[in-house]
Chains A and B, each alone.
Chain A
Amino acid sequence: MQNHMKPNATSAATGAMPLLRAVDVHKSYDRLEVLKGISMDVEQGEVLALIGASGSGKTTFLRCINLLEEFQQGEIDLDGEPIGYRMTGGRRRKIPEAALSAQRARIGMVFQSFNLFPHMTAEQNVMLGLTKVRGKPAAEARDIARHWLERVGLAERRGHYPFQLSGGQQQRVAIARAVAMEPRLVLFDEVTSALDPELVAEVLGVMQDLARSGMTMIVVSHEMLFVREVASRVVFMDGGHVVAQGPPQELFRDPESERLRSFLGRFHGVFS
């Protein structure tokens, strides 16, 4: 996976804008603050892994990126454009839903519980965004859907409904649905956590294939072997903060943070 190792300083060195930049993102549910100032840059082609214990805020942060969660302070920019909020007259306002939908269309997302549309076949699930959001004719959308379903190994299952597919197959359809839209980046939210152990590998295999093709990905995962293999950078979150980050080899070999060390200690055998 060395070909994906990109130094963090790319944008600083070239002066180019990062694909995604989060600056001081704060989020609270009522009085409970779950994100306490998250900042990070994600470069084009990077595979960023967000790790941390449950409750550390990693999934919440991921959901803030396409505004499935609102956040009260800070900014997330995609290609330099602020996501979800605008400053108008010195006040921070949510942008209109139509504009928000257009922004979300540039970000793919794969969920823990697959979330396939239950009344549509695998192929129709992939086609919906292509025809209704991208405005592609049905025939072209069908070709694209078939291409991606084949790519995730489900060419024969394209006419199946979600309830006729295994969890691993459903999740691969969900990945095809996300990437067929040609998003700028894809968010993966613990996508293997709801799968039976024997089905995890087929999904991780698809993700590894996408990573190799240069897709920019942010992955929340507990699959430490996968993270070590595929991620170009790992961000460790704890208690709503980014505690440590770096390339997985460095970060896992010699964790400076005590909290990261104790977190990694739970994954016996993986890091010894």
Chain B
Amino acid sequence: MLAYNFNWDVIWRQWPTIIEALLLGIGLAVASLAIGCIIGILCAFGRVSRHKWLDWAIWSYVEFIRNTPLLLLIFFVYFGLPQMGIRAFDKIESFILTLSLYAGAYMCEVFRAGLASIPNQYVEAAKAIGLRPWQRQLYVVLPVMFRITLPSISNTLISLFKDTSLAAAIAVPELTFTARQINANTFRVMEAWLTASALYLATSYAIAWVLRLVERRYSVIR
């Protein structure tokens, strides 16, 4: 016997706030992925550049990020940096910074593997028509790497989107935080968490579906 009476009214009343919270989460994930990709590309090139110190510095960054809980990083940036005198960021900016650094470490490894898997023959063809080194990277290496790594980029975006729930810990009004608010104010525990879960699930599927279309459009390497 289910001893819980559902009452969805609170959810409908809060619907605009919930959707706003969901969009904020998507925005946080997309912004972090974009910045993370830039960090990742720079780090991947840094690691293959054969500069020993640069390689070591980037390796340390990647290992540090990948072996530290994300929640701890979020607390460190949000609470720690102001203690050190850096008060430049509000909580949303602070979270984007953290998630970007986090995404950057993962994307660095993704792109490094992508760069390593580009057959040398394309680079040789680019050399042979007289493209300069940076042109070879820009017009041949990066576009090919982007297409090779697209499935990994998609996976990263979905996992980043789910990780935005950790922003609730520093009171960023995204979906998890909003669900907790509703829960706290109304005691509609099941409604609040079921709604949030369903929205995470649906959004993750939607992102995956859109990105699969993008992959199909760009997967010209077979």
Contact = CB atoms under 8 A, between A and B. Distances in A.
A142 interface: no
A102 B124 contact: no
B128 A66 contact: yes
Given A117-B122, A119-B143, A163 B129 contact: no
Contacts of A163: 220-222
B221 A105 contact: no
A113 interface: yes
Interface residues of B, number: 22
Nearest to B143: A119
Contacts of B126: 117
Given A109-B128, A115-B125, A117-B144, 17 more contacts: A66-B127, A101-B132, A102-B130, A104-B129, A111-B121, A111-B124, A111-B125, A115-B121, A117-B125, A119-B221, A128-B131, A129-B129, A133-B129, A133-B135, A161-B220, A162-B220, A181-B129
A18 interface: no
Interface in A76-128: 97-98, 101-109, 111, 113, 115-119, 128
Q: Which of B129, B132, B133, B139 has the most A CB atoms < 10 Å from its CB?
A: B129
A177 B221 CA distance: 19
Nearest to A131: B139
Nearest to B218: A119
Contact of B130 (A104, A111, A113): A104
Q: Is the interface of A mostly helix, strand, loop or mixed?
A: mixed
B131 A132 contact: yes
B162 interface: no
Nearest to B124: A68
Contacts of A109: 125, 128
Interface in A162-186: 162-163, 174, 177-178, 181
B131 A133 contact: yes
A119 B124 contact: no
Contacts of A116: 125
B214 to A, nearest CB: 14
Contact of B147 (A104, A119, A162): A119
Contacts of B130: 101-106, 129, 133, 181
Nearest to B147: A119
Contacts, number: 78
Interface in B35-78: none
B133 A97 contact: yes
Q: Is the interface of B mostly helix, strand, loop or mixed?
A: helix
Interface of B: 121-122, 124-133, 135, 139-140, 143-144, 147, 218, 220-222
A107 B125 CA distance: 12
30 contacts: A68-B124, A68-B127, A97-B133, A98-B132, A101-B131, A101-B132, A104-B127, A106-B130, A109-B125, A111-B128, A113-B121, A115-B124, A117-B125, A117-B126, A117-B139, A117-B144, A118-B122, A118-B144, A118-B147, A118-B220, A119-B143, A119-B220, A128-B131, A128-B139, A132-B131, A132-B139, A133-B135, A161-B220, A177-B129, A178-B128
Contact of A128 (B129, B144, B221): B129
Contacts of A177: 129
Nearest to A97: B133
Contact of A108 (B128, B131, B133, B220): B128
A66 B133 CA distance: 15
A21 to B, nearest CB: 21
A75 to B, nearest CB: 20
Q: Which of A108, A119, A128, A163 has the most B CB atoms < 10 Å from its CB?
A: A119
A181 B128 CA distance: 11
Contacts of A101: 127, 130-133
Q: Which of B125, B144, B221 has the most A CB atoms < 10 Å from its CB?
A: B125
B128 A132 contact: no
Contacts of B140: 117
Q: Which 7 A-B pairs have the closest CB atoms?
A: A105-B130, A129-B129, A115-B125, A109-B128, A115-B121, A133-B130, A118-B221
Given A117-B140, A119-B220, A163-B221, A178 B129 contact: yes
Nearest to A181: B129
Contacts of A133: 129-131, 135
Contacts of A108: 128-129
A105 B144 contact: no
Nearest to B121: A115
Contacts of B122: 115, 117-118
Contacts of B132: 97-98, 101
